[in-house]
Structure 1
Amino acid sequence: MMRTTNKSINRRDWLKTTALFTGGLTMLPPVLQGLQAAPTASEAAVTSLVSSGLSANGLTGLQADAALEPRISGVLKARLFANENPFGPSPVAKKAITDTLDNGYQYPFMLLKDLEAKICAYEGLDAKMLMTSAGSSPLLLGTAITLLGNGGNIVSADPTYDDLPTRCEKIKATWIKVPLKPDYTHDLDAMEKAINKDTRLVYICNPNNPTGTIVDVAKLKDFCERVSKKVPVFVDEAYIDYLPDPAATTLIESVKKGQNLIIARTFSKVYGLAGLRIGYVIAQPAMIDLLGEYAASGGYALSLPAITAALASYNDKAFIAEVKKKMEASKSFLYETLKSEGYTYIPSHTNFVMFPLKMEGPRFVEEMMKRGVGLRNWKLNNEDWCRISIGRMDEMQAFAAAFKELS
């Protein structure tokens, strides 16, 4: 679905979009019509949200990863803190980028239309059910402003990818955190019980970041079918391509059945395009229109190289299989390293792994950084944990050498 309007947030846009909330929602599904009576978010609240990526507990999402880089001293031997695909974009994507550089003076509207048509054809979607943007971040921001700009609460697991929930907190919404089960998976029953009259959104990251666990597919589909009748459910599938059979796990079919879900996908992970910034959401057309008021999307939000690379590599099964093969080899090496040093870990379905530490998390990260290995630490169940992204084999070997000095 092409959008050529500037979605930057300013006073004029806020005045214009007031009409959307007061009279433009009459054709929306019942759950979305509930937004009609609520006032729009204050301009001050949104300005605060847009200008800051900080949460009450520190940095969120990409900001937290980026904040580690200035602390690096010496040579970084292993960049294992950002859940990137260290094997890079596919050769086809790289060639496509260089072949289109001469057209860099052009706005990429038509090329984006081709990419969106390719995604819709593969997934069996109506074009009005898709919105593309520069990675997931603008889409998460747009969702926060649209659905929680009036207040209310968002329900999610804890811990999970906190970009969307912390953005909601920035506009004075409440984040209801539901602890994971003992096996570190989502507690769907507890999440459903946590929903109340003020809940505006339920967020599920599947596979989950930072634990790398997945939700039982049948239970998740049943949960979404029930809950989406009362409140929208956002299912973040950023890491789904790392699963053996993504098609068996995705909730896209549930959207096609008419359920009020928002499914997020990205080219940042298995496709190796994190630096180019491109992603998309799939939802009901009415929800796409609603999100489009505040989520930067379309030809003005995406660069020509990003669209070109995504179009060339989308659903490249041979490339994806090769990436997963290399990733699994590196992950197996990591598992063996941890076990040999007497450490446990959470078995992961993604390109990152969490394991409990035997020293304070910040100190561990600092000591590993001194040895040229960048990592992230977490507090889980009041204990110190490390989340390590899966790197190339040479990076995993660098981790193992440094880790053995501290373990």
Structure 2
Amino acid sequence: MLNRRSFLRSASAGALSVYMGQELMAMEHARQTTGIAIEDTIWLASNLNPLGASPKAMQALSDSSNQAYRYGDHKALALQEKLHQHHNLPFQSYEDPKQYFAKYDAFTHNPVLIGNGCTQLLNAAAMAFGDNGGNYIESFPTYNQLGRTITEHHPGMKRTQVPVNDQYQNNIPAILAATNKNTRFIYLVNPTNPTGTVTAKADLMRLINETPENVIIIVDEAYMELADPGATVSLIPESLKRPNLLVFKTFSKVYGLAGLRVGYAIGPVPLLQQLNRRTDGMGFQNLVSMAAASAALDDNAFIQASIHHGNKTKAVMQQRFSDYGFTPIPSHTSFVWVKTGRNNTAAVETLRRRGVFIKDGQSYWQRPGYLRVSVGSDDDMARFYRHFEEVMGV
């Protein structure tokens, strides 16, 4: 299997875009300002899969590339059916052609909506459920894509941020206490980003049982495949029973397809229809991305290898950070949230000038004294530790 540096040296521009998109722009900026070649950068800032993309997905991408001149299927039926099988969901085929070509905002009677990455679906949720007269609730710190979109399009909507508890977990009792008659939705990331912790099943069930049905619950499960078995549960089965529960998933993390932009939401059809009305145009999906995502679902060997590499690397990271005198938080994701107790902003900038990219808690989440470091390849991690020790003086 290629490591990341050899992949970057040998890959075409198209293959690179499958693995990483905006990261390449940051790397190019670093190259221009520091002279460091892109393949020599160490990118531990976006929680990408350090093993690259699923080989089965890449083969499907190649096999379907001769169809790139065609428009994609706006319902992405092949991937929809595959996802229904993968998650053991009920699926009804479109036997009547008139039903298939129905107006796109009445797009489906199935509980899956596919989008161009979860970002598109989060933006759609902000547009669909945002309300200048109401409020929404999220943990603090958390993944902030939805919050940015709310701020832009619904500046009058109140953002209620509930601090994580002393174990860095979503504080469900406090979230429920913050819910009031003006609350439109709750956004919960599980496993969490950036702290990397999980919410226990009992707390999740309390949240969905005690939240009023007129309040929508959006649960972002981008890292669920990486959580330790038994530590938490997916709410996908519950989303089929509840009128107000949506679960978002992505192919960007364990499947290694961040550059192809494939995400999906599962939940009540009326809520999915509201999201679909706020996606771009007719919602035509990228034909080759759909083929790659469908194949990735079958690549269990790659998924297990990715999980194994992540767990092995996190164990070393946590030990190294502890040896440095810092406090790493046990992680169920592809990164480690670490408390340094320092102002890290200058150090993170110094690392960037060396071609090493990590996330500063202060700059991204208003949490001074913390860093988020993604799992990397063995080669990247060895070079990261060397630079980190020199810059941090540990």
Question: Would you say 1:135 and 2:117 are equivalent positions?
Answer: yes
Matches for 1:5-84 after TM superposition, within 5 Å: 68-69=26-27, 70-71=29-30, 73=34, 74-75=36-37, 76-84=40-48
**Which of residues 58, 68, 75 in structure 2 aligns to 1:104?**
68
Residue 241 of structure 1: aligned partner: 225
TM-score by length of 2: 0.82
Q: 2:246 is matched with which residue? A: 262
Compared CA separation, residues 230 and 148, structure 1 to 2 (3 A)? same
- Cα 1:402–1:143 change in 2 (3 A) is same
User: Which residue identity does 2:356 align to in structure 1?
Assistant: V
Which of 291, 303, 309 lines up with 1:326 in the alignment? 309
1:313-352 to 2 correspondences below 5 Å: 313-352=296-335
Once the 2 structures are TM-superposed, how far is the Cα of residue 308 of structure 1 from its aligned partner?
1.1
Q: How far apart, in 2, do the equivalents of 1:223 and 1:333 lie?
A: 34
3-state SS in 2 of match to 1:400: helix
Q: CA deviation at 1:217?
A: 1.2
Cα gap change, 1:228/1:113 in structure 2, threshold over 3 Å: closer, same or farther?
Answer: farther
CA shift, 1:372, in A, is 2.2
Question: Match of 1:271?
Answer: 255
Equivalent in 369, 373, 390 of residue 384 of structure 1: 369
Report if aligned partners of 2:251, 2:263 keep a CA contact under 8 Å in 1.
Answer: yes
Aligned-partner Cα distance in 2 for 1:131–1:391: 31
| Residue of structure 1 in register with 2:204 after alignment | 220
Any conservation in 2 of the 1:239–1:269 contact (CA below 8 Å)? Answer: yes
Q: Which moved more, 1:66-75 or 1:79-88?
A: 66-75
Runs of 4+ more than 4 Å apart: 62-69
Deviation at 1:244, TM superposition (A): 3.5
Q: 1:159 to 1:110 in 2, by over 3 A?
A: closer
Q: Which one of the candidate residues 131, 135, 144 is aligned to 1:162?
A: 144
Query: Which amino acid in 2 is paired with 1:106?
Result: R
Opposite residue 241 of structure 1, the aligned amino acid is E
Partner of 1:22: none
After superposition, the Cα gap between the structure-2 partners of 1:305 and 1:245, relative to the gap in structure 1 and judged at 3 Å, is farther
Give the deviation of 1:196 after TM superposition.
Answer: 1.4
Between 274-283 and 120-129, the greater mean CA deviation after superposition: 120-129
1:93 and 2:93 equivalent?
Answer: no
Which residue of structure 2 lines up, in the alignment, with residue 398 of structure 1? Answer: 383
Letter in 2 for 1:386: L
Q: Is the 8 A contact 1:142 1:296 kept in 2?
A: no
1:183 aligned onto 2:158 = no
Return 5+ residue gaps in structure 2 as ranges. 1-19, 92-109
Change (3 A) 1:167 1:96: same
1:202 to 186, 198, 212: 186
The match for 1:285 among 266, 269, 274 is 269
Which digits, 9 at most, give the CA deviation of each residue in 1:48-100, with x for residues without a partner? xxxxxxxxxxxxxx999788543563244310011111211121111111111
TM-aligned CA deviation for residue 371 of structure 1: 2.5
Structure 1 regions of 5+ residues with no counterpart?
A: 1-61
What whole-Å deviation, never above 9, does each CA across 1:112-149 have from its counterpart, x for those lacking one? Answer: 21110111123233452110011011101111111114
Question: What RMSD over aligned residues (CA atoms) do the two structures have, in Å?
Answer: 2.4
Would the alpha carbon gap of residues 146 and 164 (structure 1) be closer, same or farther in structure 2, given more than 3 Å must change? same
Deviation digits for residues 184-219 of structure 1 (CA, Å, limit 9, x no counterpart): 111111111111111100010000000001111122
1:250-302 per-residue CA deviation (whole Å, 9 max, x = no partner) reads: 001111223410100000000000011000001101111111110238752x3
Looking at structure 2, the residues matched to 105 and 270 of structure 1 have their Cα atoms a distance apart, in angstroms, of 29
Aligned to 2:337: 354
Q: Which moved more, 1:95-104 or 1:253-262?
A: 253-262
Q: 1:124 aligns with which of 88, 104, 112?
A: 88
> Quick check: 271-280 or 239-248, which moved more?
239-248
Shift of residue 106 of structure 1?
1.4
Deviations 1:326-376 (A, max 9, x none): 112222221222122222211111001111235422211111122221111
* Map of 1:144 onto structure 2: 126
Q: Is 1:154–1:165's contact at 8 Å kept on the other side of the alignment? A: no
Question: How far apart are the structure 1 equivalents of 2:75 and 2:141?
Answer: 38
TM-score, structure 1 as length reference: 0.79
Q: Secondary structure at the match of 2:247?
A: strand
Q: Which position in structure 2 is the counterpart of 1:312?
A: 295
> Higher mean Cα deviation, 381-390 or 303-312?
381-390
Instruction: Name the % identity.
Output: 31
SS at 1:207 equivalent: coil
- Number of residue pairs the alignment of both structures matches: 345
Q: Matched residues in 1 for 2:125 and 2:248: separation?
A: 11
